[in-house]
Structure 1
Amino acid sequence: MNLQDAMYNWLSIKVVADKRPDDQAAQDTRTFFEEILTEDHHISLLEVKSNHDYYIVHYHKDELKEIKKFPIELIDALLTSIQSEPKYNE
């Protein structure tokens, strides 16, 4: 999995896991993608900020500081989908 996809997936599930702390599947999936980022892509010091339109991920890759921006609407789509599905909200 390339870095862009891994970070997109991690951030999407992180948003879900943060909003649903009792959802063990979300917590486990976040951990899975964090392991991909750290072990496969050598990412450390992940920090997420947001503005009106974007989530901005600050991170270190091989000791270099980098940033990636993701549209809030795309990242929040997973959370919206989960929240609108009754079987996930019992």
Structure 2
Amino acid sequence: MQDTLYNWLTIKVVCDDRPDDTAAKETMDLFEKSLLEEHKVTDIEVQKEEPFYFVSYTVNEERKKQRYPIELIDIMLNQINESPDRYENFPIEED
């Protein structure tokens, strides 16, 4: 579950910065589905306080909290921002 939560947070940071990025949104949705259905995680809240992101969530009616270094979570967003041409958004085409 920790890997899924880490990956979800990493892509959530990208989605928050790039709300029109459909690939990032689809990936975040996939991780959210896994957290909910496989790990029974609900009520996820994220706070950013240097030098960490704090993620609070509920599992089996128990409130839990994890922390992740900002520099590790922001790595993907930083890569995208440094080379935006490599991460071009391709909107979903409607039929």
TM-score bin, normalised by smaller chain: over 0.9
Structure (1 or 2) with the larger CA radius of gyration? 2
C-alpha RMSD of the superposition: 1.1
1:39 equivalent in structure 2: 37
- Identical pairs, percent: 43
1:81 equivalent in structure 2: 79
8 Å CA contact 1:83, 1:89 repeated in 2: no
Question: Gapped runs of 5+ residues in structure 1?
Answer: none
2:46 equivalent in structure 1: 48
TM-score by length of 1: 0.93
TM-score by length of 2: 0.88
Aligned residue pairs: how many? 88
Question: Gapped runs of 5+ residues in structure 2?
Answer: 90-95
Runs of 4+ in 1 over 4 A off after TM superposition: none
Give 1:49-68 correspondences, 5 Å limit. 49-68=47-66
Residue 64 of structure 1 and its aligned partner are, at CA, apart by 0.3
